[in-house]
Chains A and B, each alone.
Chain A
Amino acid sequence: MKAMSIIAAAVMAASVIALPALAQDAGTLKKIKDSGAVTMGVRESSGGLSFTVGDGKFAGFHVELCQHVLADIQKQLGMARLDVKYQPVTSQNRIPLMQNGTIDIECGSTTNNTARQKDVAFAVTTFVEEVRIATKANSGITSISQLNGRNVATTTGTTSVQLLRKHERATGVDFKEVFGKDHADSFLLLESGRADAFVMDAQILAGLIAKSKTPGDYKIVGEVLNVEPINIMMRKDDPAFKKAVDDSLIKLMKSGEIAKIYDKWFMQPIPPANVRIGLPASDATRAAWANPNDKPAEDYAKK
């Protein structure tokens, strides 16, 4: 008797474990339809793209785009009700969580590059990030060439560190790099004078400046150091789901709706502090909306 019940329990446990894997094999659309739920990967603090407003609620440009996409998918599948769950992710765990099925669609700030395309798929580009320099308004710095021998802050665990290294190698300029442990820490280095400049994604810089004590004391200057497409991320080899997401996004792009959503998150005051980021859509972002594509960062660098 006892042995039987243990075997029965084992079989049940095995089938529970096997279920998500089966659903995954059959595609994300089937998984959504069968379970009546979908899990959106979101970020705690990725500028205006994806952030928490407290209380387990998330908002931002990419989060709202995903909400539009999921509403369209709900219609397409003819579901009366779709339960959207939010799962905060980090840059370290977002790809493994996508691969193992914990999240179905990631709406954060993931750069689309060829290395990642081996593991995951990306929707059409909805935002193009430009890496730029923030400095104190009275520093007189207007270009990266003036940073020779100066302290340049950036954040550990970001592609900007690698970018600075490549730039040093290519041009022979010598920065003294200081690494903040997170963006707020890097900004503190600039604020306290330990660093003369902070090199980072423009939307993150704009957000930090907007939230600082004296936003007028800082400005974003100089040339665009790098361009990277930031995309909504999905599981690899799921063409039906990618088509559904892309179609929905392309519809927003063609109707011009996407520009209005962008305006809401980057040009208007946003919660929780009701501060305006104030970063108009760049030419590269507008170009991506005009010609929807999912080209990786490497294709942008070639230009």
Chain B
Amino acid sequence: MGNWDWQVFCKNTIDGEVIASCFGSGGDITYLDWMMSAWGWTISVALLSLAVALVFGSLMGILRTTPNRGLVFLGNAWTELFRNIPLLVQIMLWYHVVPALVPPLRDVPSFLLVVAALGLFTSARISEQVRAGIQSLPRGQRMAALAVGFTLPQTYRYVLLPMAFRIIIPPLTSESMNIVKNSSVAFAVSISELTLFALQAQEETSRGIEIYLGVTALYFVSAFAINRVLHFIEERVRVPGLIAAGGK
């Protein structure tokens, strides 16, 4: 197994001939071209799911800290529903079971279904982090805001959330990196992302180790790029002394 064959990426996916430039032209596609397109799918699934997850996760996390029991119940039910079912099972539910119950959903592209499934699954985890962030603030903060005449939405917008979100940036970073890695389950519903590429290309080329190393590198680069972006945001929005004060 010690003999590497990195030229495998330059092979034409139709006839297996090596193309000198490594990129196909005139309709020819090399494994490298295919891997780049697969990377694009992985990133699209991950970023769109992250957007869905942040919107629903923040909303549900906030609901869970409101004084209204009905809203708290809704937020809790949402979180428990989506975090107690394994991700792959949720994807299969969205793909096979939900369209059987709601026929119009059958025409929805599997890409959108997978974004919904991965986004909602992650929203449960983000909801938990947002709730923890808000609850880590001293209770006096909320009371003081209400006492000076802020409405409840204003209290959240101007007092609680600016601090809570700064506190939870580190776990949010992990979660955002997880979503890149979790996007690999999309292969199960026929999205030609990196994992599907790896499974298929290693079968066609018999060079599984090279293919998997290539795919591993791209996953690493994508997740690490998200890590750096969020680290940059964390530095930029830091307010000196704020978090230390919040922790008291």
Contacts and interface: CB of A to CB of B under 8 A. Distances in A.
Contacts of B190: 177-180
A159 B106 contact: no
Interface in A169-188: 169, 177-181, 185, 188
A192 B196 contact: no
Contacts of A179: 187, 190, 192, 196, 200
Given A157-B200, A161-B204, 11 more contacts: A92-B208, A115-B205, A116-B206, A156-B196, A159-B203, A162-B204, A166-B14, A169-B14, A179-B192, A181-B188, A192-B100
Nearest to A93: B208
Interface in B168-200: 187-188, 190, 192, 196, 199-200
B206 A95 contact: yes
B106 A194 contact: yes
Nearest to B91: A181
A124 B20 CA distance: 37
B13 interface: yes
Contacts, number: 49
A99 interface: yes
Interface of B: 1, 13-14, 27, 96, 99-100, 106, 110, 187-188, 190, 192, 196, 199-200, 202-206, 208
Contacts of B100: 192
Contacts of B208: 92
Interface residues of A, number: 27
Nearest to B13: A165
Given A192-B96, A192-B100, A161 B200 contact: yes
Contacts of B188: 181, 185
A268 interface: no
A193 B96 CA distance: 10
A239 interface: no
B101 to A, nearest CB: 12
Contacts of A15: none
B5 to A, nearest CB: 10
Contacts of B205: 115
Nearest to A151: B190
Contacts of A166: 14
Contacts of A92: 202, 208
Given A165-B13, A165-B14, A188-B96, A158 B187 contact: no
22 contacts: A91-B203, A95-B206, A99-B1, A156-B199, A156-B200, A157-B199, A157-B202, A158-B203, A159-B203, A161-B204, A162-B13, A162-B200, A165-B13, A166-B14, A169-B27, A177-B190, A178-B110, A179-B200, A180-B190, A185-B188, A192-B99, A194-B106
